[in-house]
Amino acid sequence: MSKTKLLIIGYSSFVRRRVEPSLKKNKLFDYCISSKSNKININKKILFNNYEDALNFFLPEIVYISTVNSLHYNYAKKILEKGFNVIIDKPATLNIKATKKLLKIAKRKKLLFAEATLFNYHKVFDIIKKICNGFDKVEHIQSNLNHPLVRSPKEIKKINGDCEFDMSPYAAAIIRLFTKNDFTNLNVNRNYFIKSKTVKSFYITANSKTCNYFGNFSFQREYNQQVIFYTKNKIIYSPQRMFAPPYDKNLEITVKSKNKIKKIKVKKDDCINNFFKLILISLKNKKYNFWLNTMLQDAKIRDIIKKN
């Protein structure tokens, strides 16, 4: 079986920790990396320091952009115009106007263009859906995504990587996936780094006809990643680290009903590997509407978040 050629632009921590292990495991890709900040290293597959050289010499079928947020749009625009399929780390762009411009290019060129918001491709959500008897039975959802500050506020501002830019794609995905976009109002409360005036935490509420959502997102706190689903007679706690589920560990769902607690084991699964398998199916069938529509839906929700 021939492998799909994938070029990764940017050698981010996420690529090193999560993307590369998945690519090596599924063996469906021949990949290499273009990085301006790392020396050429054949063992690490860093073969280029210039993305244009990488495009011309490697001739990838897909380009995965994993740079800082502030560079996403310019890279994506140039690469799509050159006729390459593109996957891009979340957030794909910093505003809906830029997203629409890129989607217009992708549609005109008949290219795949997908945003890598990946957590929901883990099978744990299929299991939670069965426990809930369908997500339409969920009356309330609460999500927590907190982690300590890893960059200075000054650096965060420079790369457009504050809490809202970085974490609002997760909030948008939850609203899209579990309330069917049928929300009647959405409100946001923000806290800022005073000197840089960048967002260090935000709280979001949204309501649909049948479900309420509350999201708690923050830098500068202890690690906490969990989604909690409330039905009429159950509370279902996702495993911890749910927005970046580990690919090499078994997980555990906790269900509380009638004041009794039940633990449900979930065998290890790789959401990134699952994502890439779906990407390959789309490339084979040349059907990209799912990815384009998903990106637009999330961009619209993030735009509402930004304006509230």
**Residue ranges covered by each domain of the chain:** 4-116+272-307, 119-269
In this predicted structure, what is the pLDDT of residue 209?
A: 84
Read off the pLDDT of each residue in 3-7 and give the average, rounded to a whole number: 96
Q: Could you tell me which of 12, 14, 11, 20 has the C-alpha nearest to residue 276?
A: 20
Q: Cα(first)–Cα(last) distance of the chain, in Å?
A: 50
Q: Which residue has the higher pLDDT, 24 or 213?
A: 213
Which 8-state DSSP code applies to residue 304? Answer: H
Phi, psi of 53, rounded to the nearest 5 degrees? -60, -40
pLDDT at 178 exceeding the cut of 90: no
CATH of 4-116+272-307, one of 3.40.50.720, 3.40.50.300, 3.40.640.10, 3.40.50.1950: 3.40.50.720
Q: What is the mean pLDDT of the chain?
A: 94
pLDDT digits (tens, 9 = 90+) for 194-208: 999 999 999 999 998
Q: Which residue has the higher pLDDT, 184 or 52?
A: 52
Read off the pLDDT of each residue in 170-174 and give the average, rounded to a whole number: 95
Cβ pair 238, 124 in contact under 8 A: yes
Please tell me the distance from the alpha carbon of residue 215 to that of residue 233, in angstroms, as a whole number.
22
Please tell me the distance from the alpha carbon of residue 304 to that of residue 6, in angstroms, as a whole number.
34
CATH number of 119-269: 3.30.360.10
Read off the pLDDT of each residue in 231-259 and give the average, rounded to a whole number: 95
Same fold, 4-116+272-307 and 119-269: no
pLDDT digits (tens, 9 = 90+) for 68-89: 999 999 999 999 999 999 999 9
133 φ/ψ sector (left φ>0, alpha ψ -120 to 50, else beta):
left
